[in-house]
Structure 1
Amino acid sequence: MTPHMNTRRAAALTAVAAMVVVGVQTGTATAGTGTGDSTASSSGATTLGVNTATQRTTALRTAQSDAPAAAEALGLGSQEKLIVRDVIKDAHGTVHTRYERTYAGLPVLGGDLVTHTAADGKSKGVDKATDARISVPSTQPKLKAAASARKVVWAGDGKPALAFETVREGVQKDGTPSRLHIITDATTGKKLHSFEAIETGTGNSQYSGQVTLSTTKGGSGFELTDGDRGGHKTYDLGQGQTGTGDLVTDADDTWGDGTGGDRQTAAVDAHYGAATTWDFYKNELGRDGIAGNGKAAYSRVHFGTGYVNAFWDDSCFCMTYGDGADDKSALTAIDVAGHEMSHGLTAATANLDYSGESGGLNEATSDIFGTSVEFFADNTTDPGDYLIGEKIDINGDGTPLRYMDKPSKDGGSADYWDAGVGDLDVHYSSGVANHFFYLLAEGSGAKTIGGVDYDSPTSDGSTVTGIGRQKAYQIWYKALSVYMTSSTDYAGARDATEKAATDLFGADSAELAAVGAAWNGVNVK
């Protein structure tokens, strides 16, 4: 949504945003391989802006110094302040500034917003997580807070309230660590919201064959430290569940034997997956690392015993992989690695709340980019496809974890939107966006892509013509990074992707029309 502002405020905001200058390098996007790919148009319409880590740091500092003027221009109250999270200047010169908000010094959960300023200095509007006026009768709670709680303003459901946020740590049913955030009304004690902060996905590598690794020579051999990609490191937890474990080392720089019985093999897959995901974001989307600051996350393998999952934890900025039910089938396939790192991307951009429809969009984003990374890798041992986790055999019968062409084939995911989608587990509500992406990239109907047969239906029986994977993931990335907010739902995702397609390809483009057709095909009208 783009709320209207009066002329004076819009002009003031324009003046503030225009002061934020981020250098832009114009790069040429590199097409992937296989059916459905497309290259950037000769007009350069799909070229994405590239912001280096140094430019980003300067832009953040400048934007924060201008934040008080921006708050005034937006008409925020005297007790509200803006905290800059990100600044992106795209290839068209538009500056997108993402803010968190505070009220009387308290964090406002669900109060994030993004302002957009065109290259000519004119405001292009604001996207807000909530349109509600942020105000509470008092910042003094009537109830006593638990020792571990922090006082916040909750704005996620449209009516701001003074609240407590408590983080309850533990273990989920499948052995995944739990960091459950619970929001309670500080006046009545009523539970307002909750979300899980641990986001799961479900050399000689086990899944990708013989691969080249970037390693670092140490005092007595080599270590899995990637000096070419922000210093990414891969650790062995030794079946532990806390800490970082031991940095994986080797005497002769030849790693693993390609079997799950060798401890180095899982580390090879994790290290290779992290490097490939980094390269995908850098080469295809112009992003310098997950957070856009040139710094790497790290990977941990051999988590727990018989642990059949993998997860991203933003508090450590790391990916963690279990070894599977037999402790020899690590969940380190390339699309799983891309999936987990992409949770970090979402946390660094729109920070989609991990519940309801926004949680489904969060999970779908990881599936979308995990799949895109798999195609980008162009690995003959694990060729790209629209099947999620097909290599790890998590079901024990050779079937993939999820299907993007018809998500309901997994027995639980939604093919189409309806009013109850937000009540599903986020790994199932994600089906709507996964299906949208497949339709946008490849189109509807029966086809064979890379040796895999697909048959994607639409909710209304319409025919959708795909625009290719590259254009599809460019649109999704732009929508995520500059238009979505923490509370974006499916209707908001349609709006965000239509804005992104307009920015990248034009208001009269076939790509914008395809975005609309694909959303119609999954019943997001």
Structure 2
Amino acid sequence: MSRPRHSSHRRRYTAVLALTTASTLLAAGFQAGTASAAPHGSGHAKIVATPRAGAAPAKLSPAQHASLLKSATAAVGDTARILDLGSKEKLIVKDVAKDADGTTHTRYERTYAGLPVLGGDLVVHTKAGRSTVSEATEATIKVPALTARVTPATAARKALTVAERADATRPEVDGAPRLVIWAAGAKPTLAWESLVEGTQDDGTPSELHVITDATSGKDVFHYEGVHTGTGTGQYSGAVPVGSTLSGSTYQLVDGDRAGHRTYDLNQGTSGTGTLFTDDNDVWGDGNQSNRQTAGVDVAFGAAATWDYYKDVFGRNGIRNDGVAAYSRAHYGNGYVNAFWSDTCFCMTYGDGSGNTHPLTALDVAAHEMSHGVTAATANLTYSGESGGLNEATSDIFAAAVEFHANLAADVPDYLVGEKIDINGNGTPLRYMDKPSKDGASRDYWDSSLGGVDVHYSSGPANHFFYLLSEGSGAKTVNGVSYDSPTYDGVPVTGIGIGNAQRIWYRALSTYMTSSTNYAGARVATLQAAADLFGAYSDTYLAVAAAWAGIHVGDRIALGVNVSPIGDQTSGVGQQVSLQTSAYTTNSGAGLTYEATGLPDGLSISDTGLISGVPTTTGTSAVTVTVTDSTGAAVSTGFDWRIANIYVNGTRVDIPDVGPAVESPITVTGRGGNASATTQVYVKIVHTYRGDLTVDLVGPNGTVYSLLNHSGGSADDVDQTFTVDASAQPVDGTWILRVRDTAAIDVGYIQQWRLTP
């Protein structure tokens, strides 16, 4: 949950999950329904439903869990064959979960020719002998060669350079880089993974993983591995504290929770420091000056988080293996943060500015330890949209833990970090009902979200969870006022935090993978809602409505649903293939498709495929109507423009800091001049579009600048530009000229289109 560091050029993929930071379902209608509702808070209604018992996690003993792991491991060869994996691919069982009805969910990592495949994880769901799969990547795992051209020493040096650019202090490569297959990019790549240790600029330890292309030596990806997130505590008040008597001295060792231990680092930054001890088993006094007070908050936070996951989901510890983490209080001097590390399997808390504002509140503990749960399940990659979902997951479960603990001293709410006052002005760190109130987080999804720092791109998912739990509009919950908007202004009815948390947890632990994005999270939560409450139940429809409330997907109507179709532009004489997507909630009902207003040369098939070759320029208003065999129907409309469009789809590689490359299109037989609104569509695959200049050169040599180092660290160019080319003859050779002017990132022209 930390404040992002700003970079003048390169994108930072930091997974410092700390506390401080100043195939989708488609629909066309909103289902109001006849939801069962009950009053809550200040009187607002909610959808009330009971989860299906069969979808609840089975209560497994450690021995039963071990047996499932053993059986899955013994069957990995058969599973690989069933999945039609290549002969060089092997599966490694990471975990097995089981539902009360016997359904199993086996999570696998993958290797290729003995090398770890990063981003190749998958989950196999098996029920009554039938299996389905959730995959992080659908790409075939295959690389042209297994011999690295780049030496490990070179990869290590490049990794150090990346760490220095990421503002790490005293970076050192820990051991030799390991050879891996990087499968989280556009295509699988042979790569080196280096671990660079050091210190981040706020004092947090750094474990930066750097992925270097083993053929070209380019920095492919990098992410941070340190995740930043009776007694009387400063924030928790008077609470029970698990302790153990050793001789005549009590220790903060929680025997009821696998022996979780709480240490005082005494302002140190390594090791475990000193175990908290006491002579009378009365810990802390609520004052920050008493060192035990922070220990009470820390120990209680660990206990409350353990109890939450066990009581609500039957999860036995962070990794579901019955093993306790440990906690360290009083880290560093003036350290304004807290963090979770999988390496030490521990939680660490700073004392804040001047060592007077410890970051030991309950939602901090729950947030950070929930990063451990995410790592043990979906392991959402901590960058882009999946990174935002990772961060939101910790905020979601932090709120859920607060509601489960129900402390008088820390009233449950949908605010993040409200107790620790990290901003120094009495305001929370984040707001789930309207994330933009923090001044930086996003309320809604859009296509630029993946380029936003994960602490801010988490906003839409936090907003989704609030809407799903409480609904939209003004209301008061536990004395706190909220007023949550929706993207389209359509109200959303909540289902209660109890059922919302169950849906998110099942989606995370059962269906999400490392690469899940917002659209994928929608699919995962809808599947989870179908498992728990039934497909197209009021609760299921509420999940879709909450996603629509943050601009992800559409509401689902009972009856026929058809995906909206955006306005189309096609070329005269060029083959068209547009598949409409529709389904009906009426079981067993067939669908028929009709279309009016199609451009000359196009027709729609009985499966909804619009195809043909347009013959005439112009713009048509098209309406597609889908009807099921019960008579239910729905229509969607869009405009279809037919124009003279010229395309060059030949790949042209763009050298790194090299000369400009060119891609030509030659037009003949048109005559006259081009339009004042000539359109140029450009598709360039490149990992840092701010490196690029992109120009259009007309037949008479005039140069039109389309892109000049704009877009910063975002990936790719996928954009239509409009230029006044009315001084250009249409006939002649038009050129797209592209140059890369900065080091490290590379790419290629995939396609460009000209509509003069």
Task: State the TM-score, normalized to the length of structure 2.
Answer: 0.64
- 1:76 pairs with 2:81: no
- 1:306 pairs with 2:315: no
Q: Which amino acid aligns with 2:126?
A: T
- 1:268 pairs with 2:290: no
Question: Does the 8 Å contact 1:208/1:382 carry over to 2?
Answer: yes
SS of the residue 2:237 aligns to? coil
The equivalent residue for 2:639 is none
* Structure 2 CA distance for partners of 1:519 and 1:39, relative to 1, 3 Å: closer
SS of the residue 1:414 aligns to? coil
Q: Which amino acid aligns with 1:121?
A: G
The equivalent residue for 2:374 is 346
Following TM superposition, by how much is the alpha carbon of 1:339 offset from its aligned partner in structure 2, in angstroms?
A: 0.5
Q: Which amino acid aligns with 1:115?
A: V
Q: Which amino acid aligns with 1:511?
A: T
Question: Does the 8 Å contact 1:46/1:471 carry over to 2?
Answer: no
SS of the residue 2:86 aligns to? coil
Following TM superposition, by how much is the alpha carbon of 1:39 offset from its aligned partner in structure 2, in angstroms?
A: 7.6
Q: Which amino acid aligns with 1:104?
A: A
Following TM superposition, by how much is the alpha carbon of 1:329 offset from its aligned partner in structure 2, in angstroms?
A: 1.7
Following TM superposition, by how much is the alpha carbon of 1:51 offset from its aligned partner in structure 2, in angstroms?
A: 2.8
Question: Does the 8 Å contact 2:336/2:353 carry over to 1?
Answer: yes
* Partner residue of 1:95 out of 96, 104, 115: 104
* Partner residue of 1:60 out of 58, 64, 69: 69
- Unaligned 5+ runs, structure 1: 3-32
Q: Which amino acid aligns with 1:168?
A: V
Following TM superposition, by how much is the alpha carbon of 1:219 offset from its aligned partner in structure 2, in angstroms?
A: 2.2
Distance, in Å, in 1 between the alignment partners of 2:356 and 2:284 is 13
The equivalent residue for 1:435 is 463
* Partner residue of 1:507 out of 515, 526, 535: 535
* Partner residue of 1:185 out of 213, 219, 236: 213
* Partner residue of 2:495 out of 462, 467, 476: 467
* Partner residue of 1:122 out of 95, 109, 130: 130
Following TM superposition, by how much is the alpha carbon of 1:53 offset from its aligned partner in structure 2, in angstroms?
A: 2.5
* Structure 2 CA distance for partners of 1:86 and 1:234, relative to 1, 3 Å: same
SS of the residue 1:259 aligns to? coil
- 1:412 pairs with 2:420: no
- 1:477 pairs with 2:492: no
Task: State the TM-score, normalized to the length of structure 1.
Answer: 0.91
* Partner residue of 1:333 out of 348, 358, 361: 361
Q: Which amino acid aligns with 2:110?
A: R
Q: Which amino acid aligns with 1:291?
A: R
* Structure 2 CA distance for partners of 1:327 and 1:37, relative to 1, 3 Å: farther
- CA offsets, 1:340-368, max 9 Å, x none? 11000000000111111111111100000
Distance, in Å, in 2 between the alignment partners of 1:45 and 1:148 is 47
The equivalent residue for 2:151 is 144
Question: Which structure is larger by alpha-carbon Rg, 1 or 2?
Answer: 2
Range moving further from structure 2, 301-310 or 91-100 = 91-100
SS of the residue 1:359 aligns to? helix
Question: Does the 8 Å contact 2:177/2:194 carry over to 1?
Answer: yes
* Structure 2 CA distance for partners of 1:94 and 1:178, relative to 1, 3 Å: same
The equivalent residue for 2:139 is 132
SS of the residue 1:99 aligns to? strand
CA RMSD of aligned residues (A): 1.6
The equivalent residue for 2:449 is 421
The equivalent residue for 1:21 is none
The equivalent residue for 1:365 is 393
Question: Runs of at least 4 residues of structure 1 off by over 3 A?
Answer: 33-40, 42-48
Distance, in Å, in 2 between the alignment partners of 1:238 and 1:152 is 40
* Structure 2 CA distance for partners of 1:253 and 1:239, relative to 1, 3 Å: same
The equivalent residue for 1:15 is none
Following TM superposition, by how much is the alpha carbon of 1:230 offset from its aligned partner in structure 2, in angstroms?
A: 1.4
Q: State the number of aligned residues.
A: 492
The equivalent residue for 1:166 is 194
SS of the residue 2:535 aligns to? coil
The equivalent residue for 1:516 is 544
Q: Which amino acid aligns with 2:416?
A: I
Query: What percent of counterpart residues are identical?
Result: 61
Higher relative contact order (CA 8 A, sep 6+): 1
Q: Which amino acid aligns with 1:520?
A: A
* Structure 2 CA distance for partners of 1:296 and 1:250, relative to 1, 3 Å: same
Distance, in Å, in 2 between the alignment partners of 1:434 and 1:348 is 21
Distance, in Å, in 2 between the alignment partners of 1:210 and 1:136 is 59
- Unaligned 5+ runs, structure 2: 1-22, 25-39, 154-174, 554-756
SS of the residue 1:453 aligns to? strand
- CA offsets, 1:425-456, max 9 Å, x none? 11111101100000000000000111110000
Q: Which amino acid aligns with 1:144?
A: T
Question: Does the 8 Å contact 1:394/1:401 carry over to 2?
Answer: yes
Following TM superposition, by how much is the alpha carbon of 1:218 offset from its aligned partner in structure 2, in angstroms?
A: 0.7
Decide which structure has greater helix share: 1
The equivalent residue for 2:516 is 488
Question: Does the 8 Å contact 2:263/2:272 carry over to 1?
Answer: yes
